[in-house]
Chains A and B, each alone.
Chain A
Amino acid sequence: MLIWFSVFADWLVYDTLGLSNQTQFGQALHFFIEDTSKIFALLIVMIYAIGWLRASLNVERVRDYLSGKPKVVGYGLGAGFGAITPFCSCSSIPVFLGFTSAGIPIGITMAFLLTSPLINEVAILLLFSLLGLKITLLYALTGIVIGMLGGALLDLLKAERWLQPLAAKAYARGQQTAPSNTTNETSANAPTSSLSWQQRHQFAKSETSEIFGRVWKWVIIGVGIGAALHGFVPAGWLQANLGEGQWWSVPLAVLMGIPLYANATGVIPVLESLLIQGVPLGTTLAFCMSTVAASFPEFVMLKQVMQWRLLTLLFALLLISFTVMGWIFNLVSLT
């Protein structure tokens, strides 16, 4: 079915505009038209479908579910929920405080918060349709493992020492009360979970227009970069320079990704082009993860609940884990 977008781009670029498919510009424009139309169509269908399924899943229910779970199970569940529960990044503070005051250990909360920006379901589905199942699974698995290990490490270090007073108070209060029954009073405030079809449709519709309105420009930028890489970087240049997965290329990719903070949706087309150009998988994934997850705006927000020490630790933790993951994937895919 996705072939139609290629046919459409053929028609527009080669037949209607009369460009040759032998020129770099023609190829770049073709790539741009095919990928933007494909991604836009996929996004609209996917966001709607996911919104429909997800209408009844909210972060209050996740919290109720997580509270009182043993730590080891909690890391996995926290990271798993983080992968499927989207929330506006300006909600990360209330979510953090809400989890904390429900007596959920800081490591489980962090597993949730680390995984959430890293993996979002729209990105997963785009990855799947553009790059295939294997890479998608690797990406999701890596994100969840980073979340779980990060959470476990923060618990080991007793990271609650480095919270700001407000969060520390919430944490202490949460630890005193029995975790299993602290949440009842507040969950009454959460929207009810049984929804009619009409309500689901409404939710999915508003999700679609809201998310699409936010990400379309990222898609254009991402595909634009991808098209430029595709058409103008001499074939073989990236392959020759980064193709063997030199050890330093991974940390370099991670460092380059940080200031480029972007939406996962926009990074995926770039990722596609990098892979086509022969950049090894580990380097590409490392770049992608650091672009998406290591975001300064979010860190500035987290400053309200965490001291610098904890923030720096988190940041370092992310960078190191992206690098290590990149190395591992390069080793696996190059041998």
Chain B
Amino acid sequence: MKIEILGSGCKKCTNLAADVEQVAKHLSVDIELEKVTDMATILDYGVMSTPAIVINGIVVSSGTVPAHAEIEKLLTQANVAN
């Protein structure tokens, strides 16, 4: 699945990307991770609080760095929907 991390590149966004990668590895889910810093794209998603997680084009979290368990849930849900 395709995962985008939206954010201007601050520390929180970098941490979130690393967390997502780690959780995906742990779950052995194949992901294609992309960090999006382009403001026009972020605006198109309607996101105002970064960092945000977008899975397959849907915003699933914004404004926080969720705990690993929370990320695990998001990834599993998206994986089932696939």
Query: Chain A: residues with CB nearer than 8 A to chain B?
Result: 58-60, 63, 87-91, 93-95, 97-99, 101, 166, 170, 185-186, 189-191, 202-203, 206, 210, 301, 304-305
Contacts and interface: CB of A to CB of B under 8 A. Distances in A.
B47 to A, nearest CB: 6
B47 A189 contact: yes
Most chain B beta-carbon contacts within 10 A, residue among A91, A101, A186: A91
A140 B53 CA distance: 35
Interface size class of B (residues with CB under 8 A): 20 to 34
Given A87-B63, A98-B47, A190-B62, 9 more contacts: A88-B12, A90-B8, A90-B13, A91-B48, A98-B43, A189-B45, A189-B47, A206-B64, A206-B65
Nearest to A183: B46
B80 interface: no
A202 B10 CA distance: 23
A292 B13 CA distance: 23
A191 B39 contact: no
A209 to B, nearest CB: 11
A113 to B, nearest CB: 12
Nearest to B59: A189
B77 to A, nearest CB: 15
Given A88-B12, A90-B7, A301-B8, A58 B46 contact: no
B49 interface: yes
Given A58-B63, A93-B39, A166-B40, A88 B50 contact: yes
Contacts of A206: 64-65, 67
A120 to B, nearest CB: 16
Interface in B33-82: 39-40, 42-43, 45-50, 59, 61-65, 67
A91 B49 contact: yes
Contact of B12 (A90, A93, A101): A90
A98 B42 CA distance: 9
20 contacts: A59-B63, A60-B48, A60-B49, A88-B50, A90-B8, A90-B13, A91-B48, A93-B39, A94-B39, A94-B42, A94-B43, A94-B47, A97-B48, A101-B43, A189-B45, A189-B46, A189-B59, A202-B67, A206-B67, A304-B39
